[in-house]
Chains A and B, each alone.
Chain A
Amino acid sequence: MNTIATERRVIRVVVNGSPYEREVEARLLLSDFLRHELGLTGTHVGCEHGVCGACTVLLDGEPVRSCLMFAVQADGHEIETVEGLAPNEAELHPLQRAFWEKHGLQCGYCTPGMLMVLKAFLAENPDPSEEEIREAISGNLCRCTGYQNIVEAARYAAQLLRQR
C-alpha cells in the first residue's frame, strides 16, 4: 500500500528502453540507483545538491537532476541516460557527434549532463539562438572548456538534428 510508510520498496522502471525491477531503500537517490544498481556510470555525480548539472537525465522526456530525486519516485516512469543516446555501437547520436567534432568537451565530466539537457531543449527549440542555448545550459557547470565550444557544438547539433 502506497499510504503505508516504508523504508524499502520494489520499483519498476524503464531505462533506455529496458525494463528493470529492483527492491531499493527509499533514501536511494536516482543517480545512485542508475550508477550502483544498474551499472550505468555514464550519469555523473558532481555536487549532489542540484548545482552542477552533471547528473541530469530525462524523466519521461524532460530533463531532471537525478541527484534530486529518489529512485522510488521513478517507479512506473521512463528514464533516459547518456548511454541511451547512440543508436548502436558504431554510430554516435548527432549531439555526441557535434560535441566530438566541435571539441565541446575536455575532461568529459560535465558532458553527459550537457548532452541530456540539450537533447530535451533541442527537441522543444529546434533552431535556438546562442542566448537561448546559453540559458538552457546555465544549470550545467563545466570547469574545462569555457563553454565556447559547448555552445558551438549545441548549434551544430541543432543543425544536424534539423537535417535528419
Chain B
Amino acid sequence: MKPPRFRYCSPESLEEALAVLGEFGDEAKPLAGGQSLIPMLNMRLARPSVLVDLNRIPALAGIERTDRFLRIGAMTRHRAVERSESVARAQPLLAEAIGYVGHLPIRTRGTVGGSIAHADPAAELPGVLLALDGTVELQSRRGHRTVPARDFFVDLLTTSADPDELVIAVRFPVLPPRSGTAWLEVARRHGDYALVGVGAVVTLAEDRRTIRDARLCFIGVGNTPVRATGAEAALRGQPAAADTWRSAAEAVRNELDPASDIHASAQYRRSVAGVLTERALALAVQRAQEGTAG
C-alpha cells in the first residue's frame, strides 16, 4: 500500500493556503493530522493531485475562551485539547469525549479541524459539536462564514464546506449555569470508533429537580451525528428521576433509525442507544446537581 503520486506544498500562512486551494479547487486537498487522509491515500481511496499541508501554519492552532464559547483553531491537536485546563473547565463534554478519539499516537497528530471536516458519523468531535449546537468557521479567498453544526454535517463524510474553503476554527459554546454533561460510548476495544456513542447536555431549572433543557446527540447511528429531538422535547419540564430517563430511553429507541453493518446490527445499536441514554442522562443530571458540570 503506497500513496499515489501528488504534488505537495506547505504554506506558512493561511492566505497562502487559501490561495493554493482557490487555484486548484477540488483537485487539491488540505492535509491536517493525516490520520484519516493518509490511510485513504495509502489504500488509494483518495487521489488528490495536490496536497496542501496545513502543519506549518502556526496561526491555525490554539484554544481561546470567550464569554460564549471556546474557540479551537483547526490545527489544534487532539492531544492539546486533552491536556488543556481551559477545555476541562469551560467545556467538560469535549474534555470527556476527546480521550475516546483513537489512541495516544493518533491524538498526537490528529486535529480538531480535521475531525470536523472529515465528518465520520462514528467520530466523537462532530457529535460533541452537534450536542452543544456549536459552529464551524470557514474561510476561503472569497470570504469568511460561520455555519451551525446542524447545517454543517450533511451526509456520510460530507459537509457543507466548499472545496476551496478551510475549516479555520470550531466554536464549542459554554454552558449556562445548573448544567451537566456526559459522554458515553460502546466500542469493541478502547480507541476504536464507537459502535454507538451519546453526548447528553442537561440544564436544570432553579429548583435543581426539574429539567429545563436536555440535548441528546448520538454517533454511529446514521450518516451524520444525530440529535434525538423528539426525546429532547419530551424531557423538558420533567422531574429529574429514574422514570424520566427510562421514558427518554424508550423515546430514543423509537426515534433512531440506525443501519446494520459488519460491526453491529441495527437492533443492537438501537438497544445500546437506549441503555446509554439512561446512563448519560442520570450522570449529566448528577453533575449538574453537584455543580461539577462534567
Binding site for B on A (CB under 8 A): 2-7, 9, 25-27, 29, 32, 48-50, 53, 56, 59, 62-65, 67-70, 72-73, 117, 120-121, 134-136, 138-140
Contacts and interface: CB of A to CB of B under 8 A. Distances in A.
Interface stretch (B49-57, B58-66, B143-151): B49-57
Contacts of B39: 48-50, 68
B183 to A, nearest CB: 16
Contact of A69 (B5, B34, B51, B52): B34
A64 B11 CA distance: 22
Contacts of A4: 9
B267 interface: no
Interface stretch (B97-105, B128-136, B253-261, B274-282): B97-105
A133 to B, nearest CB: 12
Contact of A68 (B9, B35, B51, B189): B35
B190 interface: yes
B3 interface: yes
A27 B20 contact: no
Interface size class of B (residues with CB under 8 A): 35 or more
- A interface SS class: mixed
Most-contacted residue by chain B among A5, A121, A139 (CB, 10 A): A5
Interface of B: 1-12, 16, 19-20, 24, 34-35, 38-39, 41-43, 50-53, 55-56, 79, 102-106, 108-109, 189-191
Contact of B8 (A48, A49, A70): A70
20 contacts: A2-B56, A5-B8, A5-B52, A7-B5, A26-B6, A27-B2, A27-B8, A32-B2, A48-B42, A53-B103, A59-B108, A65-B35, A65-B106, A65-B109, A69-B34, A117-B105, A120-B104, A138-B189, A138-B191, A139-B106
A62 B42 CA distance: 23
Contacts of A70: 8, 34, 38
Nearest to A55: B105
A134 B103 CA distance: 11
B8 A63 contact: no
B61 to A, nearest CB: 14
A111 B179 CA distance: 45
Contacts, number: 111
A114 B11 CA distance: 34
Contacts of B8: 5-7, 9, 26-27, 70, 72
Contacts of B102: 139
A138 B190 contact: yes
B108 A29 contact: no
A150 B230 CA distance: 48
Contacts of A25: 5
B12 A2 contact: yes
Given A27-B41, A121-B104, 6 more contacts: A3-B11, A5-B7, A63-B108, A117-B105, A138-B103, A139-B105
B166 to A, nearest CB: 15
A139 B12 contact: no
B12 A63 contact: no
A62 B2 CA distance: 24
Contacts of A27: 2-6, 8, 41
